Structure 1
Amino acid sequence: MGSIRQRRPNRDGGAEQRNILAAAASGVAGFIGRHGGHAEAVFEQVGIPGERLGDPVLPLDLGAYCAMMELAAGDTGNDNFGLWFGQQFQPQALGLIGEIALAAPTLGGALQALAELFPFHQQATETRFASEGERVRLEYRILDGSILARRQDAELTMGMFANVVRTCLGPAWAPEEVWLEHPRPEAWRDHDKAFDAPVHFGQRTNAVVLRARDLGRRMPGGDLGRLTELRARLIALAGGTGHTPLLDRVRAEIRSRLPEGEARVETVAAALGMARWTLQRRLADCGLAFSDLVDQVRRELAAAYLRQPHIPLSDLAFFLGYSELSAFTRAATRWFDLSPSQARQRWCGIGEAS
C-alpha cells in the first residue's frame, strides 16, 4: 500500500502537505448526479480524475477536494449540497478513520480517536475533543488559511461526525447544538432541520456538541485489538498530519478569531506555540507585518461574502471583526474603491437593503 504523501510548492518557497484520503468523497459522483449535476464536469474543473475516487486510500489535495464540494453545490443548484451529503454519509464509507471510530469500545473512545487521528486522514486540519461541564464537543477546522471557500466541507464533516454518534446512540439521536464557522447561509433553516438541533453560525470553529453522560455508552462493533491495528495502518499510510506554511497558518488563526473581534498578534502567536516577537520576526522575514495579514484576510473574506447578497452588511462587518458598519465601509472603500453596497450591487447585479 503506497504512501499518500504529496508535496506542493507554496508561495513561501517551501512545500506544503495537505492531503485527504479519497474515502472522504465516497459516493459523491452519484450524489451529484441524483441532484441534477454533472459529476465528471465538476471533477474536471478541480483537476481530480474521477477514477481516483474509487480507491479510498489514494490521496486527494485538500484544496481541490474543498473546491470540488463548492463547485458541486453550484453545479447542482443545491446551496446546501454539503449539508445533505454529510447527513447520508455513514462512518463505514469513510475508510480507515471511519473504521477506527466504529472499532472504539465506547462512544467517548470513538470521539477521542477521531480527535487524535482525523488529521492523519485529512492533513492540515485541527480536531479537538473539548469538555465543558455537562457537555462535550468534537471540534474541527482546516488550518490552511489559503483554502478560503470551505463551507460545504464544514457542513458535510459535521454530518459525518453526527452519524458516528448515531451509530452508538441510535438514528433518532440529535446533538445538543452544532457550530459552524461560516456566516449563516440563505437556506439556514434546513440546518436546524437536518441536525434536529440549534445551529450557530459565525463561530471560531466547527463543532458537534453532545452530553458528557453518553460518553460511556458501548459502541456496537467495539474491538480494541482492531482499533490498535487500524490506528497503526492510518498513521503509517499518512506519514504525518501534513505541513502548512507559516503564512497560511497565521491566516487561518486570524480568520478563526475575527468573529470575536479584531485578531491580536499575542493570541495568534500563542495559538501557534511561539512568542509574539518570534512571530513578528518571522513575518518580517517574509516582508510582512501582522497587520498586513489581518487586512489581507479581511479583504479576501469580504470579497467572497459580498457576493452572497443574503448576508446583511451589518452581519458581515461583525463577522470580519468590525464593531461598526462604518469601519467596514471605510475598509471596503480602500480595498475595492467601492462601498460595500456598491460592490455588492456591481458584483451581484442587485441593490442592497441592510
Structure 2
Amino acid sequence: MHTISSVLAKALIDPDSISQLGIPESQLAFLNSDSVQSGVPQQIPLTDLNEILSLIQQRLGSEDIGLLAYGKAHPGNLGVLGYAIMSSSTVHNALKCIAEFYPVVGAGYCIYLEDHPSSLRFVGVSADDSWPALPRVFIDAIASITLGLLHWLVPTSCLMPILAEFTYPTPKDRRQLEAMFGRNLAFSSNVNALSFRKCDTELALATSDPSLQKIHNDYLTRKKSELTDDGIIERVKSAVLQHLHQSKPLVIDAISCSMCLSQHQLKRSLEMAGARFQMLVDEARSQYSHHLLTNTALSFKQISYSVGFKSQSAFNKACDRWFGMSPGHYRFSRC
C-alpha cells in the first residue's frame, strides 16, 4: 500500500490556505491529525492525498500547482528524518540519508541514488508498477520540496539540477517547470529523478554535526526496522525493482547486500513470511513488464533486457506464463 506521513502531507497541502476553495472538511480530516506513534508520524493513504491535490488543481485551474510545495520545504516537515538530514556532512550524504531512511515518511516507493563519475542521480519510482501512475501534481510537489530542502541546506549556493526527469507526458506549458528545475527536462521517463553535478553534491552543510548524525541514524535504523519487519516482501520487491532499473544482478547475495542484510537473515525473514526469493523476483519482473508494455513504446527486445532476460524468446515465454499471451498481444489488449 502506498502511504505518506501526515507531517509531509501537511507540507504538500496547507489546510488553512485551501479552506476557501470549498473542499469539504471531511476530505481534509486526515490532514488534521497530529497522531504520532513511537516517534513516527501517522501514515495516511496516498490515494487520499492525491485526491485532494487533484481537487485543488481543478479548482485553481493550474497544472503547476504542485510546484508551490517548494515554499514549504523545511527539514521539520520530515520529522526525525529531517534532523538526520540536517546533521549530514554534505549534500551527497543528505540525499543518501533520504534514500536510506525514506520508509519512515512513506511506503510503496523505491528511492535510490545512482553515483556516476561526474553526477549524482536521485531517483524515485513506485515499488509496485501495477499501481496507477502518480499524478503530475504529486510528482511536482515531491520534486519541488526536495529541491527546496537542498536550497535550505545550502542557502549560499543556488544548487540546480543538470537534468530533471518526470514520468508524466510533456505539458503544454513548460515555463514554470523550467523556472524551478532548469531547461534540461525529460518527460514520459521510466522514473522521476533529479541529477546534480558531483561537485555540487560535495557542498558542506553548515548544520552538519557528526555526533548528532550518529544518534539520529541509529534511531532511524531502529524505526525503519520496526516499520519494515512485517513488510519484508515489499522490501525485497522494492530492492529487485531498483536492481532492474540499474541493470544489477537479481541474485540473492546482491539483493541482500543492497538491503543491508546477510543472505541468512534475508532467507530466514522470507521463510517466516512464507515467501520465496525467486517468487518475489518473478513478481517484480512481471509488474515491471506490465508497466513497460502498457506505458512505454519500448521495443520487446528492449523490454526483455530491461527486466533481466538475456533473450527475447525467454521474455516471450515469461509473458505467456504471466499474462497468458505474447507481449505483443498483451500490449495491444491494453491499448
**TM-score category, normalised to shorter length:** 0.5 to 0.7
- 1:342 and 2:329 aligned: yes
Q: Which residues of 2 match residues 309-328 of structure 1 at below 5 A?
A: 310-314=296-300, 315-328=302-315
2:162 aligns to what? 176
1:195 aligns to what? 181
CA contact (8 A) 1:135 1:210 kept: yes
2:147 aligns to what? 162
Provide the rounded CA distance (Å) in 2 between the counterparts of 1:86 and 1:76: 10
1:51 aligns to what? 29
* Structure 1 residue 333: Cα displacement: 2.0
Q: Which residues of 2 match residues 1-354 of structure 1 at below 5 A?
A: 20-28=5-13, 49-54=27-32, 59-61=41-43, 64-65=45-46, 67-68=47-48, 84=64, 86-90=66-70, 92-93=72-73, 96-97=76-77, 100=82, 104=86, 109=90, 112-113=93-94, 115-116=96-97, 119=102, 122-123=105-106, 135-136=119-120, 148=131, 151-152=134-135, 156-167=141-152, 168=154, 173-178=159-164, 184-187=167-170, 193=178, 195-196=181-182, 197=184, 199=186, 201-202=189-190, 206-213=193-200, 215-216=202-203, 240-241=223-224, 242-244=226-228, 245-259=231-245, 260=247, 263-276=250-263, 278-280=265-267, 282-284=269-271, 286-308=273-295, 310-314=296-300, 315-348=302-335
Q: Deviations over 1:199-218 (max 9, x none)?
A: 59446x95542342575477
The TM-score normalised by the length of structure 2 is 0.63
Q: Look up the equivalent residue of 2:68 and give its one-letter code.
A: Q
Structure with a larger share of its residues in helix: 2
Provide the rounded CA distance (Å) in 1 between the counterparts of 2:157 and 2:48: 29
CA contact (8 A) 1:166 1:173 kept: yes
CA contact (8 A) 2:121 2:194 kept: yes
Q: Deviations over 1:177-221 (max 9, x none)?
A: 3467xxx54338969846223559446x955423425754776xx
Consecutive unaligned residues of structure 2, counting only runs of 5 or more, are none
CA contact (8 A) 1:97 1:121 kept: no
CA contact (8 A) 1:135 1:209 kept: yes
| Residues 211, 347 of structure 1: alpha-carbon distance in 2 compared, 3 angstrom cutoff | closer
CA contact (8 A) 2:104 2:227 kept: no
Pairwise CA RMSD of aligned residues?
A: 5.3
Provide the rounded CA distance (Å) in 2 between the counterparts of 1:166 and 1:301: 34
CA contact (8 A) 1:175 1:209 kept: yes
SS of residue in 1 equivalent to 2:223: coil
CA contact (8 A) 1:146 1:251 kept: no
Q: Look up the equivalent residue of 2:334 and give its one-letter code.
A: W
CA contact (8 A) 1:84 1:156 kept: no
| Residues 341, 28 of structure 1: alpha-carbon distance in 2 compared, 3 angstrom cutoff | farther
Aligned length: 304
Provide the rounded CA distance (Å) in 2 between the counterparts of 1:158 and 1:257: 22
* Structure 1 residue 176: Cα displacement: 2.3
Consecutive unaligned residues of structure 1, counting only runs of 5 or more, are 1-9, 11-16, 349-354
CA contact (8 A) 1:261 1:322 kept: no
The TM-score normalised by the length of structure 1 is 0.60
Provide the rounded CA distance (Å) in 2 between the counterparts of 1:207 and 1:243: 27
